[in-house]
Amino acid sequence: MIRFNEAPFLGTEFEYIKDAINNKHISGDGKYTKLCNSLIENYLQSPKVLLTHSCTAALEISALLLDIKDGDEIICPSYTFVTTASSFALRGAKIVFVDIKDDTLNLDENQLDAAITNKTKAVVPVHYAGVSCEMDKILGIAKARSIAVVEDAAQAVGSLYKNKPCGSMGNLGSYSFHETKNISSGEGGALIINDTKYIENAEIIREKGTNRSKFFRGQVDKYTWVELGSSYLPSDMIAAYLYPQLLSMEKINAQRIQIWNKYHEAFKGPAQKGIVTCPYIPETCKHNAHMYYLRFNDLATRTKFIKYMKDNNIMCVFHYVPLHSSPAGQRFGRATGNMSVTDLASNTLVRLPLFHEMDEKMLAFVIEKTMEFLNKL
Ligand SMILES: *Cc1c(COP(=O)(O)O)cnc(C)c1O
């Protein structure tokens, strides 16, 4: 069976975990957490990066940093993972869902301005499939309307927009190192702080609301409860697993790009005939091949395709169920405009297997079976 995803594994992770254990520091903020933080800081050219146990944790910290309160509004796509929205709803925000664009399936920047009210605190653009949102426009609107930008770069580790890394452009950003992402520690994430005014509070929130980080740096002589916060640190063993993968980020992403390009080349013909729609990558974006998807013309064809592939032992999966019409989305949010692109993408998109250890033979087989199906349409 060809699985949809297998977490990347290089083999060297064991040595690093062993070292972390030998160092007798397996709680948070040990040697490997610090190494990971600075590696990401250097890559992003961001003033501060803090490893967290998930991207969700980084988004929750962001909501606390922005002092989100009952009645505040945040704007995000409906076509995204639950926690893009729920991390802010948790603090009492009303979630205002904006439709996505038909080409990249990213937040429609042309609908952003109209969605902003005097209650809006932030916009949370999601770089879907590792393809950047139209950040110049989003940042421009956010600046003009005095709202914060929190990039959900969960899928975009290593992706660029006009040569700037995703995650480095908003006031805050977040990465995910979940098993399903390009670079992984099973569960894991990072908070990216680009606006230095948030650094001090971020350290406090991540350390259960205490000034423990300051204490360890010798800046205060005892540590105490100073703010709201929670436990958002990963164990240093997790960071040790992550570190060699971060060191190999370019290599891992380059390998995925090769697979992605082969898919893209193979499905050009059917796309030209209008049988399927392939992903679109704007000139301004360098993506990280997080995902290869096809969009069929209707739900019935997609359902047939998933079954056809499954019968051939290939796991293909659909993606997000829209948040604006979900039970909690209706309670904690509201949609602006009609969400037609979101609804259509949700019904017609399917993701093909794509992972670091996917070999030529697997890839050829997935392409062969997909073409077999497409040629019958
Ligand atoms: C994976 C993902 C998340 C959540 O990441 P975790 O590390 O599992 O918390 C959030 N947003 C998007 C867009 C994601 O793809």
Over the stretch 219-267, which tens digit does the pLDDT of each residue have?
Answer: 999 999 999 999 999 999 999 999 999 999 999 999 999 999 999 999 9
Distance CA 93, CA 121 (A): 9
Q: Looking at residue 145, what is its pLDDT?
A: 98
Residue 225: per-residue pLDDT: 96
Quick check: CB of 83 below 6 Å from ligand 1? yes
Q: Please give the angle made by the CA atoms of 8, 180 and 247, to the nearest 5 degrees.
A: 40
User: Is any ligand 1 atom within 6 A of the Cβ of residue 154?
Assistant: yes
For residue 346, how far is its CA from the centre of ligand 1 (angstroms)? 17
For residues 61, 62, 64 and 68, what is the CA-based torsion angle, rounded to 10 degrees?
-150
Kindly report the number of other CB atoms within 10 A of residue 307's CB atom: 11
Q: How confident is the model at residue 355 (pLDDT cuts 50, 70, 90)?
A: very high
Mutate to test the pocket of ligand 1, among 176, 179, 185, 323 (most ligand atoms within 8 A of CB): 176
The residue among 28, 2, 63, 61 whose CA lies nearest residue 242 is 28
Q: What are the start and end residues of each CATH 3.90.1150.10 domain in the chain?
A: 249-375
Start-end ranges of CATH 3.40.640.10 in the chain?
Answer: 13-247
Q: What is the mean pLDDT of residues 17-44?
A: 97
The hierarchical CATH code for the domain 13-247 is 3.40.640.10
Quote the CA–CA distance of 14 and 266 in Å, as a whole number.
37
DSSP states of 244-270: HHHHTHHHHHHHHHHHHHHHHHHTHHH
Ligand 1 pocket test, pick from 52, 55, 174 with the greatest ligand atom count within 8 Å of Cβ, gives 55
Instruction: Please state which of the four CATH numbers 3.90.1150.10, 3.50.50.60, 3.40.50.10130, 2.130.10.10 is assigned to the domain occupying 249-375.
Output: 3.90.1150.10
DSSP annotation of 232: -
**Distance from residue 151's CA to the centre of ligand 1 (Å):** 12
> What residue's CA is closest to ligand 1, atom 14?
154
Give the model's pLDDT for residue 119: 98
For the chain, percent of residues with pLDDT exceeding 90: 99
CA of 269 to the centre of ligand 1 (A): 33
